[in-house]
Amino acid sequence: GFLHYVVTDCEFNSSKLNDIEYTESFYYNKLEIIRFSSSVGKYVGYTEVGIKNAERLNNGPEVIARRAQKESYCLSNVGIDVESALTKS
């Protein structure tokens, strides 16, 4: 069978917005085909299909929605994670 999955990630060094990177990677059969990275600000394709989809997504409303995820998704969750780590250390 074939396996398709998406990994969403927030990498951070502090709870400041500038120190956070949001990524969303799409995989097919363990091969990353396309990724959105907040540091790049757009989708990047790594396969023939991924490149075509990145072009389509970068020209549509999806890229604008992904750019907002760094603040709406990561910032609040990173704050919770940082607070939790500080209270346990």
The pTM of the full predicted model, rounded to 2 decimals, is 0.82
- Distance from chain centroid for Cα 64: 13
d(C-alpha 81, C-alpha 52), whole Å: 36
Owning domain of residue 28? 4-88
- Torsion on CA atoms 62, 5, 1, 30, rounded to nearest 10: 110
Tell me what the pLDDT averaged over the chain comes to. Answer: 89
* Number of independent structural domains in the chain: 1
Confidence bin at 31 (pLDDT 50/70/90): very high
- pLDDT score for 14: 79
pLDDT (tens digit, 9 = 90+) per residue, 58-88? 999 999 999 999 888 888 888 777 677 767 7
- The alpha-helical segments, DSSP class H, found in 8-75 are 48-58, 62-69
Six-digit token string for 24: 């969303």
- Give the CATH number of the domain where residue 29 resides: 3.10.320.10
- pLDDT score for 4: 94
